[in-house]
Structure formats: structure tokens, C-alpha cells
Structure 1
Amino acid sequence: MTPPPPTGRVGLVVNPTAGRGRGTRVHSRVAGALAAAGLEPVDLSGADVERAVANSRAGLSRGLDALVVVGGDGMVHLGVGALAGTAVPLGVVAVGSGNDVARDLGLPVGDVEASVAVVCDALTRTAGAGVRRLDAVAVSRPGGPTAHWYMASLSCGLDAAVNERANAMSWPSGGGRYVRALLAELGSFRPYGYKVTLDGDVWQGEGTLVVVANTPSFGGGMRIAPSAEPDDGLLEVVLARGLSRAGLLRLFPRIYPGTHVRHPAVEVRRARSVVIEPLEGAGATPPVAFADGERLEALPLQCDVHPGAVGVLVRREAGGTDRT
């Protein structure tokens, strides 16, 4: 039997800078495909992140059956921030320069038509797709109200410093900018001082990496927490003790396949709540934290996992179940 056509209002948020402007170019294709499937696309995009978030929340207050974001991990970050704790699911059209969340969830990457088909199939409850309830992570000042949400990972080690430097560079494009920024950071690097409290247990001292992960990948394919599961109610915390510059150069390539977790300087712990603070008198001051590739703020910060806080439209064979 042919399933009935989907009906409903679908918020659409497009990042105009995603994939070197590809987000803008695919806007009409996504909106047209949603309309052709019988859905009502509602454009909630904004000139900047703040406006897009405000538009998304306004759209939710008027009623949406789903929110679809077009871009990379930064747009997923935006969608999670708008939807955490609601029953409205998130659809992802992954056409950004970094699409780690989409890859980790088995969603199409760089294929607009396939991505829209997942959204439409999920909203019609066909056998191919559904809603997967995933954990989201609330970020706050320790003991304070939630200031941010994220889906993939928060980092506040050398990788965050490299991210900050790379974002300020205009050359070269793509991964070459990250490599250039890494080499520049290594020139003046010394380990940072951390106090990390994981469900009451304390890890402290000089460190190189502190990553609080909900999904396996970050940074365009680096398997920072290869055993992380986004729906197990736990965070994977990757901690690396202080290393020399030569040691770091040997460690970083191992992050891509995820073999760094077997390095003797690296520990992986699991927790539901993580507080990260600078440790005075030990090492350099840690850099500003990044979550899902988006700049947040300086330490101290607290990360708390919220099981099943966000529903994502996925293909059933990627691990989703139809709960719509």
C-alpha cells in the first residue's frame, strides 16, 4: 500500500555560508522538495546565528511538526539548542564543511534529495525512517542555569586553541588551515592546567586534551571518542596528560582512526555530569571551549547529559525507531 502523503509545517533554517555558500544554493531545492511532498516549509533562516535561533523559537511557539537545518555541525548545534526538551524532531540536510553528526548517525551527506527523503519518510512513518531519541548535553557555569546545548562534543584543549586560531585565518582553505593553525599553536605550546570532576571523581593536573563527547567524531572526521553512543545516557570524556610537542605531533594523526585512546597518556572515562575548571599553579590557562565547532566561553564549565532530549529524523536501518 502506498503511504499517505505527509502533512505538516516544517521549519527550515539554512546557513548561507555552509559548504562555501552551498547552503544558500540548496535552499530552494530543499523547500521545493518539502512542498512537493505535501509539507509546508516555513523559512526561519536569519542573517546570523542569533536571529536564526530567535526565528526557530518563534516558529516553535506557532507550531511545527519538525525543524530542518541545512548546513554542517554548526547548524545541528543550532537545532539542538532550539529543540532540546521538546517533542519536535530535528531533520538534517548535511551540506556543510563539517558533517560529523550526520555521518555518525548514518544520515546522507552532501545529498540534498536523499536528506529530504529521510525527513519526508520519517514524517509519514514509512518503513525506511523514524525518529531516534538522542541525548543532548547542557552547558552551564557550575551550578548555574543552562547557557548552551550541544550534540557532539565540547573541547577545551589544544584542539580548541587550534580551532580558535584556524577560524581567524583566511588561508588556506579546508583542512590545510587546520594543519597550519596546529603548527602555529605548537610553536608556543605548553600543557594546560585542569581540574575535571566526573560524577564526583576528580582528575587534575597538566593536560593536552579534554573532550566531553556524546558522539564519536569531531573536527571533520576525527574519531575522538570512538566508542561514544549518543543514546546511552553517558558522556565519554577523553583526557590526555601533558605531552611534548614531538609527542603531540605523533598523537594527533592517531585521532583520525581513533587509535589515540590506546596511547599511555590518554584516558577515557564515562560520566553523566562533568565540571571542568582551570587548575591554578599548574600549566597554562586552558583555551576557550568549543562545542560542535562553535565557540562558547572560557572555563569553568559544567556539562550534563540529558537522555533522549532531542528527536532526530533518521533512517530506521541507521538505528532509529519510528516513534512519531
Structure 2
Amino acid sequence: MASPLHLLVNPLSRHGGEKRRALVERMLRTQGHEVRTHVTTAPGDAETYVGGLSEQDRVAVVGGDGTIAEAARGAVRSGAALIPLPGGRGNDLCRYFGVHLDLPKAVLAIPTYVERRVDAGAVDGRVFLGVATIGFDSIANDNANSSRLRGQVVYAAGALRALARWKPVTFGLVVDGQPREVHGWSVVVGNTGRYGGGMRICPDAEVDDGLLDLVTIADGSKLEFLRSLPSVFDGTHVDNPRVRTERVRTVRIESIDGGNRAHRRRMAMFADGDRIADVPLEVGVLPGAVRLIVPHPRKAR
């Protein structure tokens, strides 16, 4: 008897079209699954659908990081297990867990995947899996989301647009109950630690340690910042004395002052590529909140 498997597809994602969807369905049936396909129709639909399932259900998700995060919000409630598959521009969650970025190859490998229980982050209770960020990254991400470009180029182009008018801001933070100020570029809270199409912004982040990685980037010249951008792809940016890293349980962002007025109006926290909350806000960790079916940790990239 075929085992049931839900296939959740964002039709607006890179692989959300009918031909790709049909290919994935055929491949899953060949593996012995009874495929139950659900195509999302609006923001929040993935969360609602997965939230209505049960602990016995498995859901293969074809979409970008935002779609996978939406599904994770539902999975926290229902206990369903998620199989992330590449379908977006950056695919940072798939990169972290070692899921092949070629969709057919990723589907072909599903029988070799193992179940992992992983942490989630939450911004004012709204779940994310990868990275939440505010500051310069907010503007760059907002620019990227409105671009027609794809892959790593879209994030680089978004960053360059943001850089042209950028002025440092002052963040009022409370980290694990201790107040502090950061004057500079960005505040980043990472669970998997990857964003922007492969950038290792929190290179030491572990998804099952019950903690979040906080990275703050203090003020420096635009030229210095621009020169440091390539180092984010291999994680060596943390060697810069202007970059502070630590592991935390909660980060409250209470205020943002100064900077470019137009940027400040657009500035919000983005998580897994989507705008998620305005200041003031609090980020916390939900240890072991999500079940994923992914490559064995030894194979993760």
C-alpha cells in the first residue's frame, strides 16, 4: 500500500509551474507515495494547510525560504514533518540542510533523508527557521524582493542600491535581559545562519543547540563595508573587530534612531526573506519545535 505524502507547492515559486509540479508528483509516486498535492492560493495558506494536519503527516514543500517558513509555522502546531525542497531564489534553508539545489535531484534523494528535530526562531511569536535581520539588511532585502533578478545577484544588487543612501542607525537592544546600544549597520539573529543566496552571516549557528546566534555590525565606512561583503559568503567576516557574535536566548529590539529617514520608515525585521515585524519586537528560540526530513547532518553543506 502506498504511503501518503502531502506535496505543498507555491505556484509563484521558481518551480511552482504545472510541468515541474507534475514531474515531482511522478517522481514521488515512483518512490511509492500516495501524493496529495496542495497548491497555495494566498500568503498564509501554507501555514493554515500544514497546521490542519497531524503528527503522522509528512509534507514535501516546493517553494522559497518564505514558503518553507510558513509551512513550519503550521508544523509547530500540528507536529507534521516537513521535507524542504528548492523552489526559491536563495534556497538558503536547503543549502544549510544539504538538500540538493536541483529540484529533481533533491526529490530523487528523499528516500535517503533522515528525520531531525530542529529549533525554530520566533519574532513576536511568528516562527522562522533561518535568519531574522534588521537594519541595512532590511533595506537590501526589501530591494531584492521587488527585483526581477534571481540568485545571489539579486541580493548583491539590492545591497548596492541600499548602500548608496545608507547612514548608520542606533539600535536599542535588550539581550537576555541586559540593555545595550549598537550604532552601525545591522542586527542579525540566526537559527540556521544563512541568508541572501548562500551568505554565512552566522557561520557557527547550530539548528539544534537551543540557542540563537546574534551578530551585530558596528559603524564603519561604506568602503570598508563594501570590501567586507565577499567575506560573508565564507563566514570570515566575523574576524572583523566591528562584528560581534554571541549565542543568546532572547533579543528585544526596542528602538531605531538616526540614519536615513526614508530607510528608517522602511526598516522592519525580515525573516527567511519576508517582512515579519516592526519595532519594538522580541526574538526568541523554540527548542526542537520543528520536525524536518532532510539529508543526514554529515552530508549538509
State the TM-score, normalized to the length of structure 1.
0.83
Aligned match for 2:270, one of 290, 297, 303:
290
- Offset at residue 13 of structure 1 (A): 1.1
* Alignment pair present for 1:308 and 2:285: no
When structure 1 is superposed on structure 2, of 202-211 and 173-182 the one drifting more is 173-182
Q: Which amino acid aligns with 1:310?
A: V
- Offset at residue 177 of structure 1 (A): 3.6
- Offset at residue 249 of structure 1 (A): 1.0
Aligned match for 1:152, one of 130, 135, 152:
130
Aligned match for 2:86, one of 87, 90, 94:
94
- Offset at residue 23 of structure 1 (A): 5.0
Over aligned residue pairs, what C-alpha RMSD do you find? 2.3
Q: Which amino acid aligns with 2:230?
A: P
Aligned match for 2:103, one of 111, 118, 132:
111
- Offset at residue 85 of structure 1 (A): 4.7
Aligned match for 1:129, one of 113, 123, 127:
113
* Structure 1: distance between partners of 2:134 and 2:19: 34
* Alignment pair present for 1:162 and 2:140: yes
Aligned match for 1:28, one of 19, 22, 31:
22
* Structure 1: distance between partners of 2:29 and 2:17: 18
Deviation track 1:281-305 (CA, whole Å, cap 9, x = no partner) reads: x545481111011121321111111
Unaligned 5+ residue runs, structure 1?
A: 122-127, 141-145
* Structure 1: distance between partners of 2:150 and 2:83: 28
Aligned residue for 2:35? 41
* Alignment pair present for 1:51 and 2:31: no
State the TM-score, normalized to the length of structure 2.
0.89
Unaligned 5+ residue runs, structure 2?
A: none
Aligned residue for 2:11? 16
Mapping for residues 206-221 of structure 1, pairs under 5 Å: 206-221=183-198
Aligned-partner SS, 1:49: coil
Q: Which amino acid aligns with 2:283?
A: C
* Structure 1: distance between partners of 2:64 and 2:256: 34
Deviation track 1:229-283 (CA, whole Å, cap 9, x = no partner) reads: 0001010000011222222212222211111101111100111111112144x54
* Alignment pair present for 1:248 and 2:225: yes
- Offset at residue 64 of structure 1 (A): 5.3
The 3 A distance-change label for structure 1 pair 38 and 173 is closer
* Structure 1: distance between partners of 2:245 and 2:32: 46
Aligned residue for 1:238? 215
Aligned residue for 1:124? none
Give yes or no for contact 1:237–1:269 (8 Å, CA) kept in 2: yes
* Structure 2: distance between partners of 1:174 and 1:94: 12
Aligned-partner SS, 1:42: strand
* Structure 1: distance between partners of 2:272 and 2:297: 25
- What is the number of equivalent residue pairs in this alignment? 296
* Structure 2: distance between partners of 1:262 and 1:28: 46
Deviation track 1:116-150 (CA, whole Å, cap 9, x = no partner) reads: 542xx3xxxxxx4321000011210xxxxx2x210
Structure number with greater Rg is 1
The 3 A distance-change label for structure 1 pair 11 and 187 is same
- Offset at residue 113 of structure 1 (A): 4.5
